[in-house]
Amino acid sequence: MKAFSGFTMPLLLCLAFVLFYSGSGKVTQDAFNDLYYDASATTQCLAEPGITMYGGGIIVNPQFTYGTYGWTVSGQGEIAERVSRTNNGFMAAYNRKLPLDSFSQKVLLEKGEFYMFSAWVQVSEGSETVSAVFGTGGGEFVPGGSVVAEHGCWSLLKGGIAANSSGPVDLLFESKNTSKEIWVDNVSLQPFSKKQWRFHQDQSIEKVRKGKVRLQVTYPYSKAGVGGATVLIKQTKPDFAFGCGMNSHILKSTDYQNWFASRFKFTAFTNEMKWYSTEKKQGQENYTIADAMLKFAQDNKISIRGHTVFWDDPKYQTDWVKALSPKELQEAAERRINSIVSRYAGDVIAWDVVNENLHFSFLEDNLGKNASSIYFSKAYKLDPSARMFVNEFNTIEFGGDVKVSPWNLKKRLEGMLSYPGNEDIPAGIGVQGHFGPGQPNLAYMRSSLDILATTGAPIWLTEVSVEPGLYQAQYLEEVLREAYSHPAVEGIIIFAGPLPAGFSATALTDMNFNSTPAGDVVDKLIKEWKSDDLKARTDEGGFFGTSLLHGEYEITIIDPITNSSSTSIFEVTKDSSEKIFHIQME
């Protein structure tokens, strides 16, 4: 409990209440949630293959206990069962000619189900990216996840697929360097219906977003509880950061301002802090618009993610930046980071320091391969109160963009943090979350978040959008729920908004600020992720217990006899377990 305030009770009555908190507490395990967001997600390379998830699920002979039974050669290579020194049988693909030459198993997918995939993988020499793919026939391969596998130990390949039609598909493995053998063990493919999936999400939300609160109301100098006291609990601030990107239209439209301020407490400016916006011409910085948006946000107590100091995509450099020599670029970049980060230091909660520096390398190509690490360090020195983020797309959205796989993003961040002096920078992982118009692959998304979570850094979805399509609203809801239910996700910013402000891809309103179906989803979730006002009475022993979403609350206790009341504030956080609070009033 942080503080108590606003006591309205007359001095005559003495009333005390004690709050007992517990965080997640003990969660009943059932067959599903036992394996949900499993702690087995690891990026360590293990001497022996790790767990066969779900006993292998629908995979036949998942541990290669029966040799190669159930598996066939795919492509031109050869396959064989191998046995490790500890007598563990695994599968090897060798004499490979093409990346997809490996072994495969036909599995039957059912439309509408999500399939969690995992396997333990190594290669016969060095290290190499190995992917799981699902051949749907006709030469089409749907990516199901990838891992940078090493020789000498087993790495976890975790991913999944969303089946958008029913029928047989071939599970197989892919690796570009055909002179390396692919070794695999303990494979698993487990289907979940959408109903089960939602059940898992709700279970996880109970566990990771709520805390139990128990209080007892007593009078001072007496241990006896006060039964029948009225308890009023009102959430004053939700803990989970669910926000929305905003753009400069907000400065001109009171409708947009009202729409925004009545919904969100977190934001990022979609373009207005970018280098190409604030320094269109070299040496002529202009922060007029960003400053005005900052003021609007601050006036409305909206926290801001600073987006973005640099952007590593060469396509988005202004012409004058592109024309600079490396030495001139270095000077210009130095001025840029000093200018924007010190200008908004203390005003933003986070910085995207170098946007998309896994996909692209404009700075590294011109300034040396440590550029991102150096700017991470600079940004942090200029604004030590903000969290420093990497920010990439396709990491959770799409398994086929191997360059930005969760494994590679994790490695990129760790590389930057291992640069001398960067070890203690509070870092965050930004995953943009730009989804296409089709069924989002939530199995892959969850697996990716699991892998990213092994860094220990908080994950934010920073730019969520879903392209227009028949099921846009439903898919947006699925993505948002998936993120909210993941224990490592601490915030979500959607890059969406009213149509008059130009948000035509994921429009949340029409031209007259009437909610679209996607807008209704956002409003529904805002409401759901806040606690409703609660009114209850203490039991005979003076006790009352409930489970509350993390956040700040105001609690009022009304004496059953005199009607005198006392009000105080308290906080439920994921760390507030087993704390006992006393309130004494005279």
Ligand X SMILES: *[C@@H]1O[C@H](CO)[C@@H](O)[C@H](O)[C@H]1NC(C)=O
Give catalytic residue positions. Answer: 356, 463
Q: Which is nearer to ligand X, 135 or 497 (CB)?
A: 135
- Decide if 295 contacts 287 (C-beta within 8 A): no
Smallest distance from ligand X to CB 76, Å: 17
Q: Which is nearer to ligand X, 398 or 544 (CB)?
A: 398
According to DSSP, residue 246 is labeled B
The Cα-based distances of 113 to 104, 189, 200, 486 in angstroms read 21, 12, 14, 19
Closest CA to 15 of 23, 4, 26, 24: 4
Question: What residues pair up with 115 in beta bridges, in sequence order?
Answer: 161, 191
Give residues in contact with ligand X (CB under 6 A).
Answer: 49-52, 63-64, 88-90, 125-126, 134, 136, 140, 142, 161, 163-165, 177, 179-180, 185-186, 286, 288-289, 368-370, 420, 438, 562-563
Question: What residues pair up with 109 in beta bridges, in sequence order?
Answer: 167
Closest CA to 500 of 485, 487, 486, 510: 510
Smallest distance from ligand X to CB 526, Å: 31
User: For residue 105, what is the enclosing H or E element?
Assistant: strand 102-109
Smallest distance from ligand X to CB 335, Å: 17
Smallest distance from ligand X to CB 557, Å: 14
Q: How many residues are recorded in the chain? A: 586
Smallest distance from ligand X to CB 184, Å: 10
Q: Which is nearer to ligand X, 142 or 302 (CB)?
A: 142
Q: Which is nearer to ligand X, 6 or 368 (CB)?
A: 368
Smallest distance from ligand X to CB 213, Å: 26
Q: What is the 3-state secondary structure (H, E, C) of 433-475?
A: CEECCCCCCHHHHHHHHHHHHCCCCCEEEEEEEECCCCCHHHH
Residues 553-564 as b/e (b if ≥16 CB within 10 A, e otherwise) read: bbbbbbbeeeeb
Tokens of 141: 């391969």
d(CA 585, CA 18): 12
Residue 211 phi/psi, 5-degree rounding, is -130, 150
d(CA 463, CA 461): 6
Q: Which is nearer to ligand X, 184 or 431 (CB)?
A: 184
Q: Which is nearer to ligand X, 50 or 314 (CB)?
A: 50
d(CA 393, CA 404): 8
